[in-house]
Structure 1
Amino acid sequence: MRYTQLGRTGLKVSRLVLGTMNFGPQTEETDSHAIMDAALDAGINFFDTANVYGWGENKGRTETIIGNWFAKGGERRDKVVLATKVYGNMAPDGTTAWPNHDKLSAVNIRRAVDASLKRLQTDYIDLYQFHHIDRNTPFEEIWQALDVLVQQGKVLYVGSSNFPGYKIAQANETAARLGSLGLVSEQCLYNLFERRAEMEVIPAAQDYGVGVIPWSPLHGGLLGGVIKKEVQGGRRAGGRTADSLADPAVRAQIQSYEDLLEKHGLEPGEAALAWLLTRPGVTGPIVGPRTAEQLQSAIRAVELELSEEVLAGLEEIFPGPGPSPEAFAW
C-alpha cells in the first residue's frame, strides 16, 4: 500500500479509503468485519463512515458494526485513521425528530459526536466531517463547537463533504481568523465521468491545503465494466446506471471507454481508480466493497501505472469541463 499526507497535515493515510456505507444494508456484520480485517492486512489505514449509514430505521448501524470490530482488539483502533460525518437527521424514518437533531448547530454537533463515539466504541474520532453545508449556521459557531471537541480530545481533524469551492474558502478563512486549523479534507463526487469538481472545488482545496477524497469513483458502477458484464453474464445494470445507459450518447461513451481498456488489457474498475490516483490534489478515492473480491480489485489499482497512451485516450473520451472561469467564460 502507498501512503500520503492528508492535505496540509502531518497525518499519513493510505491512498485508498475504505468506505463502509454498505456495512449493514448490504453486507452482514461478519462479512463486514472480514473486509475490514482484509483491508488492514493490505495496509489500508483510512476508514470512512457516517452517523446516518445504515439508513432508515437502522441509522447508526454501520458505526455500530465498526465499533464491534474495534472491540475485538488486536490494535485495530490504533491502526485506523477513523473518519465519520455529522449533518443528517438521526431520527428513524417515519418519526419526527425534535428540533436541533440535525445539521451543524453547536447543539447538534455536541450531541452527534457523543452518539458516534458511543456507537464506534472509541474515545476519539480522527477526522470529523461535515456531511453537507448548513446554510443557517455561521462558521464562527461551527468552529467554536469543534475547537471545544479538539480541546477535549474527542476530535483530531475536521473535514467537509459535498462543499462547493466558495464554502471551502469561507470555512477556512473563518478558521484562520479564529486561530483554528480549519478544514483539512473535502469529500466530493469525482470520477472520470463526473469531473465538475475540477472547475472550482479541487482548485480551492489545493489552495487551502485540503486533501480531496473522491466518493463514487466508479460512478455507481458505470465505470466498472457494466457493458462487458451485460455481454458476458447477461447481468443487466439497474438503477441510475441503467438510466444513464439508456442515453445512446452515454452508452457510446462507456463502450468507447471499455474498448480502450480492453485493448490495453486493463480492467475498467481498476483503471478508473488508478486514473483518480494520478489527479492533482487527490488523497485517495473511497472504495465501498461489498465483498472481499471487490476489495482485492481496488487494492490492485494502487499499483497500476497507466501509460501516457491510456491517459490520453481517457482524456479524449471524458474531456472534463476545464478549470474556471475559462470553463464558462473567456
Structure 2
Amino acid sequence: MPPQTLAALTDYRLLGKSGLRISPLCLGTMTFGTDWNWGSDKEESRKVFDLYVERGGNFIDTADAYTNGTSETYLGEFMASRREQLVIATKYSCNTRQGDPNAGGNHRKNMIQSLEASLKRLKTDYIDLYWLHIWDFLTPIEEIMRAFDDLVRAGKVLYIGISDAPAWKVSQANTIAELRGWTPFIGLQIEYNLLERTVERDLTPMAQELNIGVVPWSPLGGGVLTGKYNKTQPQDANVNPETPSRKEFNQTFGKLTDRNLTVAEEVQKIATEIGRSPAQVALNWLLQKPGVVSPIIGARTIGHLEDNLQCLDFVLSSEHIAHLDDVSKIELGFPHDFLSSDMVKNVVNGGANIKA
C-alpha cells in the first residue's frame, strides 16, 4: 500500500550535513509588513506566525531587507516567549543604505553590520541559520568563509547557508571550508518550482553530492501555480520599478509566459481530479524532488497558510508526478545531454553494462 500522507509538520528533517532539526515546510516572512504594498499587517502576520508554530512548525525564514526591516521586527516580537524552540534564519547581502557601497554585498564589513542590525530587530543573541542572500561576484570566497567561521566561533551564528549563487562557487566555498577546518554551508536556498527547473542542471545535483539541504523559495512560482493568472488576462504595459505589485513583479521576471501558464493549467487539472488545491499539488510535487528538505511557504493570510499546510496530507501518484515532470521538463544542455547520450556511454563503457 502506498503511503496515505506525505509527512506531518512535526516530522522534522535534518538540514544538510548537520544535526539541525527543521520542519518539512518553512514559514517565509517576506510578507510580514505592508512596506512593499502587498504584504500583511501586524495583526494578520501574528496570526500566521501563531498558527504555524501551534501546528508544530519550527523553521522560520526572514532577511534584513524584507519589508525594509519590518519582517525581522515583527518576528522578534512574535517569537519572544518561545525563542529557543524555533530555528530562526535570516540573510544579509542586500544594500540597506542607498549610495553607500559598503552597506551591501558579501564582504566582512557588511556581514558584521548586517548581523548586528538583525540581532537588534529580532531581539535575540544569536541566529540559528545565517544565509548569504545574493552572490555579488566581487568578494573573495576566502574572506566570506573565514568571516562566517568567526561568527560561528563567537556564538552569534550557529549554522550557515547560501542563497542565489552559482553551483561552482558553492562547491568552491565548501571545499575551502573543509580543507581549512572552517564552517561549511549546510543549506542551499534557490528558486525551485514547476516553472523554474533549471536548477536541476547543476545546483540540486551539487547539493546532493555535497550533502547540502535544499530549501526552495517561491515554490508556487510567485503565485502562478495557484491558478490566479490565465492566458486571457492582459499584460500590464507599465511596471512601477519602485513598488511593483506581485503581478508586475512576475511580469518583470518573465513568469507569465504561455509555457508557464500551460504548466499551471495542468496543475489545476490534477488538483480538480484529486480534490486538492493547485498550491497543494505544486508543493507536494516539490517535496518529492531529490534533495529538497523544506520549501519556504510565504502565506499572506492564515487562509493561505491553512491551504499550504495541507500539501503534507496526501501523496501525488507516480503517474501524476510523471505527467507534471513531462509538461514542465527542461533541456539540461551541455554537458548533461551529451554525457547521457547512448553514443558517449558506449565510447566510455565499450558496450559493457555497468551500474553504479
- TM-score above 0.5: yes
Instruction: State yes or no: 1:10 paired with 2:19.
Output: yes
Matches within 5 A, 1:64-75: 64-71=73-80, 73=81
Partner SS, residue 187 of structure 2: strand
TM-score between the two structures when normalised by the length of structure 1:
0.89
Corresponding residue pairs, total: 314
Picking from 94, 102, 106, the partner of 2:104 is: 102
Q: Distance in 2 between matches of 1:21 and 1:80?
A: 17
Residue 258 of structure 2 corresponds to residue 256 of structure 1: no
Contact 1:198 1:321 in 2 (8 A): no
Contact 2:160–2:185, Cα closer than 8 Å, also in 1: yes
On the 8 A contact 1:190/1:215 being kept in 2, the answer is yes
Tell me by how many angstroms 1:207 deviates.
Answer: 1.1
Describe the shift of the 1:294–1:322 C-alpha distance in structure 2 as closer, same or farther (beyond 3 A): same
TM superposition shift of 1:100: 1.8
Q: 1:62 to 1:7 in 2, by over 3 A?
A: same
Change in CA separation of 1:106 and 1:303 when aligned onto 2, cut-off 3 Å: same
* Aligned twin of 2:171: 169
Question: Relative to 1, partners in 2 of residues 1:288 and 1:248: Cα closer, same or farther, differing over 3 Å?
Answer: closer
SS at match of 1:222: helix
Please state how far the C-alpha of 1:304 moved relative to its aligned partner.
Answer: 2.0
String of CA shifts for 1:92-123, please: whole Å, max 9, x gaps: xxx532x4221121122111111110110000
Of 23, 31, 34, the residue aligned with 2:44 is: 31
* Aligned alpha-carbon RMSD (Å): 2.3
Kindly state the Cα deviation for residue 248 of structure 1 after the two structures are TM-superposed.
4.1
**1:323: how far off?**
8.1
Q: Give yes or no for contact 1:199–1:327 (8 Å, CA) kept in 2.
A: no
Q: Quick check: 1:225–1:267 contact (8 Å CA) kept in 2?
A: no
- Aligned counterpart, 2:193: 191
Which amino acid in the other structure matches residue 90 of structure 1?
Answer: T
Q: Compared with structure 1, are the counterparts of its residues 253 and 47 closer, same or farther at alpha carbon in structure 2 (3 Å cutoff)?
A: closer
Q: Give % identity.
A: 38
Tell me the equivalent position of 1:48.
61
The unaligned stretches of length 5 or more in structure 1 are 232-236
Could you tell me which runs of 5 or more consecutive residues in structure 2 were left unpaired when the two chains were aligned: 1-8, 234-245, 342-356
Deviation digits for residues 252-288 of structure 1, max 9, x if unmatched? Answer: 4432332233223231100100111101100111000
**SS across alignment from 2:72:** helix
The structure-2 alpha-carbon separation of the partners of 1:298 and 1:246, relative to structure 1 and needing over 3 Å to count, comes to closer
What aligned pairs does 1:166-245 form with structure 2 within 5 A after superposition? Answer: 166-226=168-228, 238-241=247-250
TM-score by length of 2: 0.82
